[in-house]
Amino acid sequence: MTSIKLGDTAPNFQAESSVGTIDFYNYLGNSWGILFSHPADYTPVCTTELGMTAKLQSEFDNRNTKVLALSVDKVEDHQNWIKDINETQMTCVQFPIIADDDLAISKLYDFIHPKASTTATVRSLLIIDPNKTIRLMITYPASTGRNFDEIIRVLDSLQLVDTYTIATPVNWKVGDVVIIPAGISTEDARRLYPKGLIEIKPYLRYTPNPDK
Protein backbone atom coordinates (compact mmCIF):
# COMPACT_ATOMS: atom_id res chain seq x y z
CA MET A 1 0.00 0.00 0.00
CA THR A 2 1.28 3.44 -0.92
CA SER A 3 2.13 5.74 1.96
CA ILE A 4 1.25 9.31 0.96
CA LYS A 5 3.12 12.10 2.76
CA LEU A 6 3.19 15.89 2.77
CA GLY A 7 5.23 17.18 -0.14
CA ASP A 8 4.56 14.13 -2.31
CA THR A 9 3.09 14.47 -5.77
CA ALA A 10 -0.56 13.45 -5.68
CA PRO A 11 -0.98 10.35 -7.89
CA ASN A 12 -3.15 10.74 -10.95
CA PHE A 13 -6.12 8.44 -11.53
CA GLN A 14 -9.10 7.92 -13.80
CA ALA A 15 -12.44 7.02 -12.27
CA GLU A 16 -16.18 7.01 -12.68
CA SER A 17 -17.97 9.63 -10.65
CA SER A 18 -21.36 11.18 -10.08
CA VAL A 19 -20.65 13.59 -12.97
CA GLY A 20 -19.13 11.03 -15.35
CA THR A 21 -15.63 9.72 -16.07
CA ILE A 22 -12.88 12.00 -14.84
CA ASP A 23 -9.10 12.16 -15.06
CA PHE A 24 -7.93 13.69 -11.78
CA TYR A 25 -5.15 15.84 -13.25
CA ASN A 26 -7.34 17.05 -16.12
CA TYR A 27 -10.13 17.86 -13.70
CA LEU A 28 -7.84 19.97 -11.52
CA GLY A 29 -6.08 21.70 -14.41
CA ASN A 30 -4.19 24.67 -12.93
CA SER A 31 -6.45 24.88 -9.89
CA TRP A 32 -5.89 23.95 -6.29
CA GLY A 33 -7.69 20.78 -5.28
CA ILE A 34 -9.34 19.27 -2.23
CA LEU A 35 -9.78 15.50 -2.23
CA PHE A 36 -11.68 14.07 0.71
CA SER A 37 -12.78 10.53 1.50
CA HIS A 38 -15.88 9.20 3.23
CA PRO A 39 -16.47 5.82 4.89
CA ALA A 40 -19.65 5.07 2.90
CA ASP A 41 -22.73 6.54 1.24
CA TYR A 42 -25.86 7.20 3.27
CA THR A 43 -23.91 7.89 6.45
CA PRO A 44 -25.11 10.79 8.62
CA VAL A 45 -21.86 12.65 9.31
CA CYS A 46 -20.79 12.45 5.66
CA THR A 47 -24.20 13.73 4.56
CA THR A 48 -23.68 16.91 6.58
CA GLU A 49 -20.11 17.31 5.29
CA LEU A 50 -21.04 17.01 1.63
CA GLY A 51 -23.90 19.40 2.17
CA MET A 52 -21.57 21.97 3.71
CA THR A 53 -19.08 21.53 0.87
CA ALA A 54 -21.83 22.29 -1.62
CA LYS A 55 -22.88 25.40 0.33
CA LEU A 56 -19.26 26.62 0.26
CA GLN A 57 -18.88 26.11 -3.51
CA SER A 58 -18.55 29.84 -4.19
CA GLU A 59 -15.86 30.14 -1.49
CA PHE A 60 -13.82 27.42 -3.18
CA ASP A 61 -14.42 28.99 -6.59
CA ASN A 62 -13.10 32.32 -5.28
CA ARG A 63 -9.92 30.52 -4.21
CA ASN A 64 -9.43 28.75 -7.55
CA THR A 65 -10.05 25.42 -5.82
CA LYS A 66 -11.87 22.35 -7.08
CA VAL A 67 -13.27 19.74 -4.70
CA LEU A 68 -13.81 16.01 -5.13
CA ALA A 69 -15.27 13.53 -2.69
CA LEU A 70 -14.61 9.79 -2.66
CA SER A 71 -16.64 6.93 -1.24
CA VAL A 72 -16.34 3.17 -1.66
CA ASP A 73 -19.72 2.81 -3.35
CA LYS A 74 -20.97 2.79 -6.92
CA VAL A 75 -22.00 5.74 -9.09
CA GLU A 76 -25.69 4.86 -8.83
CA ASP A 77 -25.47 4.94 -5.03
CA HIS A 78 -23.73 8.32 -5.18
CA GLN A 79 -26.39 9.80 -7.44
CA ASN A 80 -29.20 8.61 -5.19
CA TRP A 81 -27.37 9.79 -2.08
CA ILE A 82 -26.91 13.24 -3.63
CA LYS A 83 -30.70 13.54 -3.77
CA ASP A 84 -30.83 12.94 -0.01
CA ILE A 85 -28.00 15.42 0.61
CA ASN A 86 -29.70 18.12 -1.44
CA GLU A 87 -33.00 17.51 0.34
CA THR A 88 -31.77 17.29 3.94
CA GLN A 89 -29.02 19.92 3.73
CA MET A 90 -30.99 22.30 1.51
CA THR A 91 -28.26 22.67 -1.08
CA CYS A 92 -27.19 21.44 -4.54
CA VAL A 93 -24.18 19.14 -4.84
CA GLN A 94 -22.38 19.84 -8.12
CA PHE A 95 -18.85 18.55 -7.44
CA PRO A 96 -17.88 14.96 -8.29
CA ILE A 97 -18.25 12.08 -5.88
CA ILE A 98 -15.83 9.40 -7.03
CA ALA A 99 -16.95 5.77 -7.19
CA ASP A 100 -14.27 3.56 -5.66
CA ASP A 101 -16.04 0.25 -5.04
CA ASP A 102 -12.88 -1.69 -5.96
CA LEU A 103 -10.85 0.39 -3.42
CA ALA A 104 -8.19 1.15 -6.06
CA ILE A 105 -8.02 4.90 -5.37
CA SER A 106 -8.44 4.44 -1.62
CA LYS A 107 -5.38 2.17 -1.60
CA LEU A 108 -3.47 4.50 -3.92
CA TYR A 109 -4.04 7.37 -1.48
CA ASP A 110 -3.73 5.33 1.72
CA PHE A 111 -7.33 6.05 2.71
CA ILE A 112 -7.80 2.51 4.07
CA HIS A 113 -6.53 2.13 7.63
CA PRO A 114 -6.75 -1.58 8.59
CA LYS A 115 -7.02 -0.87 12.31
CA ALA A 116 -10.16 1.16 11.59
CA SER A 117 -11.59 -0.93 8.75
CA THR A 118 -10.28 -3.13 5.94
CA THR A 119 -13.04 -2.07 3.55
CA ALA A 120 -14.13 1.48 4.45
CA THR A 121 -12.09 4.64 3.93
CA VAL A 122 -11.15 6.84 6.84
CA ARG A 123 -12.35 10.45 6.84
CA SER A 124 -9.23 12.00 5.29
CA LEU A 125 -8.77 15.30 3.45
CA LEU A 126 -5.92 16.50 1.24
CA ILE A 127 -5.20 19.97 -0.11
CA ILE A 128 -3.26 19.76 -3.38
CA ASP A 129 -1.62 22.77 -5.05
CA PRO A 130 -1.57 23.54 -8.81
CA ASN A 131 1.75 21.65 -9.12
CA LYS A 132 -0.09 18.56 -7.82
CA THR A 133 1.90 18.65 -4.57
CA ILE A 134 0.14 17.54 -1.38
CA ARG A 135 0.20 20.49 1.01
CA LEU A 136 -2.17 19.41 3.79
CA MET A 137 -3.34 16.08 5.20
CA ILE A 138 -6.02 15.77 7.89
CA THR A 139 -7.61 12.54 9.09
CA TYR A 140 -10.65 12.62 11.34
CA PRO A 141 -12.28 9.81 13.32
CA ALA A 142 -15.49 8.47 11.80
CA SER A 143 -17.55 10.03 14.56
CA THR A 144 -16.31 13.61 14.04
CA GLY A 145 -17.27 15.84 11.14
CA ARG A 146 -14.72 18.11 9.52
CA ASN A 147 -14.33 21.79 10.41
CA PHE A 148 -14.64 23.58 7.08
CA ASP A 149 -13.75 26.95 8.60
CA GLU A 150 -10.34 25.44 9.38
CA ILE A 151 -9.99 23.93 5.91
CA ILE A 152 -10.64 27.30 4.27
CA ARG A 153 -8.33 29.01 6.78
CA VAL A 154 -5.46 26.66 5.87
CA LEU A 155 -6.19 27.08 2.16
CA ASP A 156 -5.98 30.86 2.57
CA SER A 157 -2.70 30.51 4.47
CA LEU A 158 -1.15 28.20 1.86
CA GLN A 159 -2.10 30.50 -0.99
CA LEU A 160 -0.73 33.53 0.87
CA VAL A 161 2.63 31.95 1.75
CA ASP A 162 3.02 30.86 -1.87
CA THR A 163 2.70 34.50 -2.93
CA TYR A 164 4.75 36.21 -0.20
CA THR A 165 7.75 35.19 1.92
CA ILE A 166 5.86 34.92 5.18
CA ALA A 167 4.35 32.40 7.59
CA THR A 168 1.04 32.58 9.46
CA PRO A 169 0.81 32.40 13.28
CA VAL A 170 -1.53 30.47 15.51
CA ASN A 171 -5.24 31.03 14.81
CA TRP A 172 -4.36 33.29 11.88
CA LYS A 173 -7.15 34.37 9.56
CA VAL A 174 -7.25 36.62 6.51
CA GLY A 175 -6.31 40.18 7.44
CA ASP A 176 -4.33 39.30 10.56
CA VAL A 177 -0.63 40.07 10.98
CA VAL A 178 1.79 37.50 9.62
CA ILE A 179 5.22 36.22 10.69
CA ILE A 180 8.56 37.03 9.08
CA PRO A 181 10.56 33.81 8.60
CA ALA A 182 13.43 33.35 11.06
CA GLY A 183 15.98 32.98 8.26
CA ILE A 184 15.55 36.63 7.22
CA SER A 185 17.65 39.12 9.18
CA THR A 186 15.91 42.09 10.78
CA GLU A 187 17.98 44.41 8.57
CA ASP A 188 16.76 42.64 5.44
CA ALA A 189 13.24 42.45 6.83
CA ARG A 190 13.02 46.24 7.13
CA ARG A 191 13.75 46.42 3.41
CA LEU A 192 11.62 43.48 2.31
CA TYR A 193 8.50 44.33 4.32
CA PRO A 194 7.64 47.97 3.59
CA LYS A 195 4.58 47.93 5.84
CA GLY A 196 6.95 47.68 8.81
CA LEU A 197 7.64 45.06 11.44
CA ILE A 198 7.15 44.46 15.14
CA GLU A 199 10.05 42.63 16.76
CA ILE A 200 9.14 40.60 19.85
CA LYS A 201 12.33 38.53 19.73
CA PRO A 202 15.01 38.40 17.03
CA TYR A 203 13.31 35.23 15.75
CA LEU A 204 9.71 36.37 16.34
CA ARG A 205 8.71 39.32 14.17
CA TYR A 206 5.34 40.32 12.79
CA THR A 207 4.35 42.40 9.77
CA PRO A 208 0.93 43.43 8.48
CA ASN A 209 -0.80 41.09 6.04
CA PRO A 210 1.00 41.94 2.75
CA ASP A 211 -2.03 41.67 0.47
CA LYS A 212 -4.39 43.83 2.55
Annotated catalytic residue 46: yes
What Rg do the C-alpha atoms of the chain give, in angstroms?
Answer: 19
Q: What's the CA angle centered on 86, arms 85 and 92, to 5 degrees?
A: 125
Q: Which residue pairs, CB below 8 angstroms and at least 24 apart, start in 145-151?
A: 145/45, 145/48, 145/49, 146/36, 146/49, 148/49, 148/52, 148/53, 148/56, 151/34, 151/125, 151/127
Side chain identity at residue 169, one-letter code:
P
- The active-site residue out of 10, 22, 46, 56 is 46
Residues serving a catalytic function are 46
